[in-house]
A and B are shown apart, each in its own frame.
Chain A
Amino acid sequence: MADMDVGALRPPLIAGHKTLAQVTEDVCAPMDGRPTALWWIGLAISVLALSLGVAAVWYMFVTGIGTWGLNRTVGWALAITNFVFWIGIGHAGTLISAILFLLRQRWRTSVNRAAEAMTIFAVICAAIFPVIHMGRAWLAYWMFPVPNMRGSLWVNFLSPLMWDVFAISTYFTISLVFWYVGLIPDLATVRDRIRGNGPRKRLFSFFSLGWSGSARTWHHYEAVYLLLAALGTPLVISVHSIVSMDFATSLIPGWHTTIFPPYFVAGAIFSGMAMVLTLMLVARKTMRLEDYITLRHVDVMTKFVLFTGSLVGLAYGTEFFIAFYSGNPYEQFAYTNRAFGPFGWAFAIMVICNVVLPQLFWSKRVRTNLAVVFVISLCVNVGMWFERFVIIVTSLHRDYLPSSWADYTPTMIEYATLIGSFGLFFTCFLLFCRFLPMIAIGEVKSVVAHDARSTGGPR
């Protein structure tokens, strides 16, 4: 789809001078044949974690939300932390598929499918938490402005939580549609690879909507894809801005900060990129996709991480400066307490993982050393989780009246729920790797063709 000839000067995005048929073969290889032992092990662990989480949530439902470590002062903690964390993870997918598409970044084609899938699974994980953290989750449907017979009874459109409801559901829907639209031609490809008329064939033909590769369809398809990308870009920014408004519009010192929207968006992309890196590095090894996810991809993404990481660091600094500059005693205390209070350790983790470590990416040697990149990307994930934890808990646990100050320690139920969300994510992702083309075949082909054209590939 990218039209200009940037590739000419660069090494080809797809290594190994693939032919179109090879591309199809390579990408579809993991899908037929028996799954590897590695895959089975991964799935087993994920499902185990998932069921642990399900058990924890179930126990919480029947016993009461008191089985979490919350109290009258700290009303939100791990659940909302996880929520923001997962939403953040999701953002990278949309970024890669939408923003980079608009920016004509052709290297995205190798990773965008997986990234979009990651988005969807992450948003699913995220969406679970606002629901289960409610004291009466069985009434969650009250959050939607459904016409009802309880007199004239509507919802509160002033509440940031209400904005969340719309933001998250929109985000999920659009991501899903975007992903699926991108998937259709590849589904057709897979469909046509399958011999015989088994259930798998029927399944794929059902979902490929009778795609025939007609140029007329491609013609409109392109338009639709472009439009979705154009919509997705402001959407992804709006979503995390709205999430950040949950805090920014409140009056709790440490939450009530105007910098939050950009700060959160940057953080989201940061964490998301890190997660993409983590997954891709694993995938290219285990699924032998080295030719498609090349060092160049890794290089670009590490640069992304470096950039956004520095943005986040800047945001941290700004927060502290404003607190000091505001002369507001509560604000000042909130930030001193954040850094030196009982949760200082969490703050330290956050700064080291999010600001210090990514700076290593300035050196090319680090960027090309996959092991190091992998470790750092993991650290960033951890750090970003702690960022949300720090923002939420340290701001709440000591706000205005010292008489109400309290501390917070998570219960095992909460930990189990967190583990469960990871279980859910990886279960979905592993199934996805196994049953769907993990790389956008069609788009890669266009890139291959482009490389061929620009670098005189095969024939």
Chain B
Amino acid sequence: MPTQNRKRYWKSREERDGAPDPAATDREFFDTPAVTGAAYTTRRGFLTAAGFGLAGAALSSCSRAPVVQAIPYLVQPEEVTPGRPYFYASTCGGCSAGCGLIVRNRDGRPVKLEGNPDHPASRGGLCAAGQASILGLYDSQRLTAPMRDGQRASWADVDGAIRTTLDDIRTQGGAVRFLTGTVTSPTVRSLIGAFLKPFPNARHVAYDALSTSALLDACEQTHGARVLPRLRFDRAEVIVSFDADFLGTWISPVEYTVGYSAGRTLRGDPPRLSYHAQFESRMSLTGGRADWRIALAPAEIGIVIGHLAERLARMADMPLAPGALPPAPVPAARLDELADRLWRARGRSLVVCASQDTSLQVLCNAMNHAVGAYGTTIDVERPSYQRAGNDRDLEALRDELSAGGVAALFIAGVNPVYDLPDGDGLAQALRTVPLVISFADHVDETSSVARYVCPDRHFLECWSDTEAVAGVVSLTQPVIRPLGESRQLIESLAVWSGAPMSACDLVRAHWTQQIYPRRRTDAPFRDFWERAVHDGVVEVTPDAPAVRPFGEAARGVMVPEAPPLPDGDFALVLYPTVGMLDGRHAHNPWLHELPDPTTKVTWDNYASFSPEAAGRIGIADGDVVRLESSDGLTGATKVIELSAHLQPGQHDRVVAVALGYGRMGTDRFAKVGPQWIEGRTTVGTNGLIGVSAAGFRTLANGVLRDTGRLVRVTKTGRTRPLAATQSHHMIAVPAALAPAGGARRPIVEETTLAAYVKDPTAGSLGHAEPTADLWPPDHPYTGHRWAMVVDLNACTGCAACVIGCQVENNVPVVGRDEVRRHREMHWIRIDRYYADGDDGGVDVIHQPMLCQHCEHASCEVVCPVLATVHSSEGLNQQIYNRCVGTRYCANNCPYKVRRFNWFDYPREDRLQNLVLNPDVVVRSRGVMEKCSMCIQRIQNARIEAARLGQPLGPNAVETACQQSCPARAITFGDANDPESPVSQARTSPRYFRVLAELNVKPAVGYLRLVRHRPEDGGERRHG
């Protein structure tokens, strides 16, 4: 009875009749769904029933057990053993970086995404957004059927109509434009080309919402090829970054983090620790890691680039005259020292810049050339294809559209109406275009004005490929039968060009013709293909465009004039966040609740000010401010209102606002989390999550800029407190009165390289654990003893582990209000501490904090019902079913890592529930929970080892947080096995335990942070 199944399957209304209907969404999402698949009362059902009174509660608190049916396979496939995980290799579609994936499947559906260690670029790392993107697959608001004029239609109608229109256009020679983001898939790229070929006037325009156009243009000027050079941070020993948040959000953060941390393992002699200087306007994740960080106004960055370029040119006697420069805002001595460092480390130094000024990029290229970076730390022969957007084309297309000269516009993978400054104007223009086809899989700003929406599939349902780096081709294979009737982009194109083919065949065909010839082995195609699909990635000979060596291009380049800031005005800096990026993840509640690595704010974007600036204009955290700016070109004034956030380390004259918020459709989160008398909604006054700041971008002179706008800031008098998991100015005690316990606490240990080289144990606060013990040692740990070590020197605070843990352990989403009430549920959090850096700067330290699994656990002793006890393998175990919820354990936990289920958190979206890990219980209300060191993964490893008749290897068990950490900061294993990496790490001189003096004997330890410092600062404390 397939029809009935289908009917059962269409559970959300816009999927069924194509019209997005918020009311329906709410109903769908937050009440027990219309589909009554289950016989038992859902927990929410219990609440509603209980609401009726004692009788109702009594009924639902004691009901008959349901009669459940079991439906086995008719023919069981070889891969699937019900209840056992199995794995696929694939490629992440979370952004254009194209990291390698290992997909963990259960019963024929994916349940977790992890990094693929075999991938030469990402090397097993996977960022937060990537890991969270699995939720998109089970998103009940995803479009899974075509739409025509906002109405659900059948593929037959849509295809017919589109084909006839296209025929007319072909005959009339109308302009056909294909607007996409960077297409990293060689197959898709060539198929789009093939599709557009028959049209006389057709162009494929690609742009990146987070544009790096200038970088590519500069490369074109200096090397004759418009490519994105591959940055090899792993080879760099001196890194100078101008506003590039390469560890957080810039181009390919995972790849860069892998390389960066490879350069900062203190291995070898002398210990290897690359020097990293960061010049930036706001406090970015990367800046927090820098050895030397200087906060500059956007305009000043150019000046510093000029000064530095001048110095280096002099050293390398290159012909370079960046023009008459105003005095640098940085002490010249420091600049000299920096230039000297770069010069001394010739061939091992690297300058990166995120500026959208082509001239500045050219200067940076010149610097890189001067220090011999090309061929060593920068690879132009084997460039990256992760960014190919061209803002000049985009600008041209926009003008074309407003002029009304476009007959057909295809929009795939981008959301221009949201991304671009003048969205409304663009929307108007799009309405006039005869044929607009969007491939969006949600009703978004663009697809809602498109004539046809032909939803593309989620990448986990797709056949595709990615060439992120020249010569490294990774495959995307479907890991689940498609949910719904969506169709892959390339399939649609094939249909419309009259040769329908399945995506698998299309990719295969392209590989036979294009990729296979570039092979390095002499395997027959079948083996080559199957091996590629199996491994997920294959290395072939790159076919990069020819580049010419760095020429004289940079000779005449001038640093652009920087008009001084008018008094009272702020320079606006728009930036992407780790979770939202350009807003493509706006439908992902996990990422909305993911605390920003630096600000720790969730569920919102906000206007960041430096504390000084805030004091100057008299605003405090949470005050709603109005940002006003008049567009230089059109003269139209744009206004947004946001809560203010005070950000230490940010430049005084800068206000920073995150992009990617205020997306259409985020009203779905209005009721996320528990609903009760004093509960408040998660959405803002505009009914959305955050406010879109895209209006403040500028698309002019061929570049899409996010910085440089001048804004006037005024107080509105209203306040809307931000939901931060951690606030940084909570010492309400007068500093004079709180010398000991206040601002400075011996929690994070840090030292300088100089001190470290002298004495590896430098920076230790010398908290020798008390040796005297009241109790006799009654509990020997024979067999395994699980332990973890976190290397603070490697950790960048990127928060990939937080999401990894959330997915693995079914950690619920609680919503903005609950986070504001300090009730977030993440089992692993990343504590962020500020400290005074040198020359007035601010240091940031990230310390991942999870259950420390203390041997003398203070939580266990106080539990009256033995709901938390110690395992024979040294784990602190929480028994949910036994817990009665006294919360005594949480009170008595010095690390405050225990999480309590204050409510029954909504689990009524049955589609979304498919992402839940069946190995982990979904905790109900009134139960304490916390990190279990992924006990289920330990058990799986144990079972697998037993099946193969082998002992549990030292690396057999990987926790979720450890697996996808791009920086490899987390080590987990058996401390009783002297060979295991964790035992090695525990013997490191940098090893320390937080709050060791309490003698709780944590099983989790940390490795001290080591930083370059001009002067030997010795150890410093944080709080």
Contact = CB atoms under 8 A, between A and B. Distances in A.
B562 interface: no
B901 A401 contact: no
Contacts of B545: none
A340 B674 CA distance: 35
B265 interface: no
19 contacts: A61-B50, A62-B50, A66-B674, A73-B896, A135-B926, A135-B928, A138-B61, A140-B884, A156-B865, A158-B862, A250-B892, A332-B741, A333-B738, A337-B738, A402-B730, A402-B747, A403-B849, A406-B822, A411-B678
A136 B849 CA distance: 28
A336 interface: yes
A282 interface: no
Interface in A372-406: 396, 398-406
Interface string B50-65: 1100000100010000
Nearest to B847: A403
Given A66-B823, A135-B927, A136-B885, A251 B674 contact: no
B902 A64 contact: yes
Contacts of A411: 677-678
A71 B884 contact: no
A251 to B, nearest CB: 5
B195 interface: no
Interface string B845-859: 001010000000010
Task: Give the residue among B678, B864, B1000 with the most A Cβ atoms within 10 A.
Answer: B864
Contact of A136 (B738, B926, B1000): B926
Contact of A67 (B57, B678, B832, B863): B678
Contact of A160 (B676, B862, B927): B862
A254 B863 CA distance: 20
A142 interface: yes
A159 B864 contact: yes
A223 B491 CA distance: 97
Contacts of B325: none
A337 B858 CA distance: 23
A141 to B, nearest CB: 10
Q: Closest 4 interchain pairs by CB?
A: A135-B885, A333-B741, A135-B926, A66-B902
A66 to B, nearest CB: 3
Nearest to A395: B891
Contacts of B71: none
A75 B726 contact: no
B1023 interface: yes
B880 to A, nearest CB: 10
B234 to A, nearest CB: 31
Given A138-B61, A336-B738, 6 more contacts: A65-B885, A67-B678, A72-B823, A135-B887, A334-B741, A396-B891
A72 B899 contact: yes
B173 interface: no
Contacts of B821: 69, 71
B903 interface: yes
B617 interface: no
Contacts of A400: 745, 747, 894-896, 995, 998
B891 A250 contact: yes
Contacts, number: 208
Nearest to A334: B741
Given A64-B925, A400-B995, A251 B864 contact: no
Contacts of B862: 158-161, 249-250
Contacts of A412: 677-678
Contact of B732 (A134, A165, A341, A406): A341
Nearest to A342: B732
Interface in B874-913: 882-888, 890-892, 894-896, 898-904
B745 A402 contact: yes
Given A66-B674, A72-B899, A156-B865, A403 B832 contact: yes
B823 A336 contact: no
A70 interface: yes
B951 interface: no
Contacts of A253: 741
Contacts of B998: 251, 400
Q: Is the interface of B mostly helix, strand, loop or mixed?
A: loop
Contacts of A133: 886-887
A30 to B, nearest CB: 36
A154 interface: yes
Contacts of A333: 733, 738, 740-742
Contact of B903 (A64, A69, A396): A64
B730 A405 contact: yes
A240 B306 CA distance: 73
Interface string B825-853: 00001011100000000000001010000
Interface residues of A, number: 66
Given A135-B925, A250-B862, A396-B891, A75 B900 contact: yes
A76 interface: yes
Contacts of B882: 142, 153
B879 to A, nearest CB: 10
Contact of A139 (B726, B863, B884, B888): B884
A343 to B, nearest CB: 9
A252 B745 CA distance: 16
Contacts of A153: 866, 882
Contacts of A73: 822, 896
Given A340-B733, A341-B733, A161 B861 contact: no
Interface string B163-181: 0000000000000000000
A11 B466 CA distance: 102
B737 interface: yes
B532 interface: no
B745 A142 contact: no
Contacts of A402: 730-731, 745, 747, 833, 1023
Contacts of A406: 822
A226 interface: no
Contacts of A155: 864-866
Given A135-B885, A139-B884, A72 B898 contact: yes
A251 B892 contact: yes
B642 to A, nearest CB: 23
Nearest to A398: B730
B891 to A, nearest CB: 4
A124 interface: no
Contacts of A407: 822
Interface string B237-273: 0000000000000000000000000000000000000
B734 A64 contact: no
Nearest to B1023: A402
A411 to B, nearest CB: 5
Interface string A63-95: 111110111110110000000000000000000
A252 B818 contact: no
A72 B818 CA distance: 11
A405 B831 CA distance: 11
A403 B926 contact: no
A162 B898 CA distance: 21
A436 B660 CA distance: 71
B553 interface: no
A143 interface: yes
A330 interface: yes
Contacts of B831: 401, 403
B737 A336 contact: yes
A401 B678 contact: no
A41 B687 CA distance: 49
A63 B903 contact: yes
Nearest to B902: A66
A147 to B, nearest CB: 15
Interface string A309-347: 000000000000000000001111110110011100000
A53 to B, nearest CB: 16
Nearest to B56: A62
Contacts of B738: 333, 336-337, 340
Interface string A229-270: 000000000000000001001111100000000000000000
Contacts of B994: 401
